[in-house]
Amino acid sequence: MTYERKRVLLTVKAYPERSKKYGACVCTAGITDSGEFIRLYPVPFESFRGGKKIPKYSWITVDCEKASEYLNRKESHRIRYETLKVENQVSTGSDNSWDARNRIVLPLLSESMEELETKSKTDNVSLGLIKPREITDLTIDARHDTDGDEKEILKEIQLTLEGEKRTDLEGAEYNFRYHFSCQDPDCKGHSIMCEDWEMIESWRSWKKKYPDRDILVQKFRQKYLGYMQDRNLHFFVGTHSRFSTWLIIGLYYPPNIT
């Protein structure tokens, strides 16, 4: 395999994860300038302490090659991080219409999770965008699957999105799960965990602001359930690196057209 320069609109920064090979990394995904989904890995978590700033919805260029991985996910590419350059950011627009973003993102909309699940089996598709038909709930559950080694590594890398050093792990120790139906008329409903970094960071920072857990949960659900239901909410979804399980890896929420 040879490296190829690609231009990508970064649309997803999922919560940092531990890689035995690469250390602490941020899973990033985006859309190439030819209109295809792509996953870029590894983007070292250390980059968010300083140096390169990589805001979402920025065009970047980077040398990458098709990744060799266990599940052979179609969109996965390994990058040469030192070649990454950040270009301009695609803003929401002066009228906050998100029109410029929508023109790039929405053409990649899939019909349903069922369609993506079929494509995953037939063509190793592992990234997609869906619009839920109805969101019935957002649940918050304690995690029980973080082992001791991972906790020690996470202690070293916990930062806010702005680069502030953090020490608490509670944001990483909870699962946030959307319960929804998608556009397929035969959809029997889905319950999918969300690993959007913005969501997890909100929980961490609001925990200090609202020490009463009942109020924290209320405020959190107001934003990520109530507010999102009033927007034109879409889910960026992707499969796990080791399992074929689908996760919500990012939220896309332009305003509803009135």
Residue 136 has pLDDT above 90, yes or no: yes
Residue 172 has pLDDT above 80, yes or no: no
Burial of 9 (0-12, 13-18, 19+ CB in 10 A): buried
Task: Give the pLDDT score at 171.
Answer: 41
Which residues are 234's β-sheet partners? 252
CATH fold group of domain 4-89: OB fold (Dihydrolipoamide Acetyltransferase, E2P) (2.40.50)
Longest dimension (CA), the chain: 54
- Residue ranges, comma separated, of all CATH 2.40.50.730 domains in the chain are 4-89
pTM assigned to the model: 0.86
- Does residue 243 or residue 74 have the better pLDDT? 74
pLDDT single digits (tens) 181-222:
999 989 999 999 999 988 988 998 999 999 999 999 999 999
| List of residues 6+ apart from 4 with CB closer than 8 A | 63, 64, 65
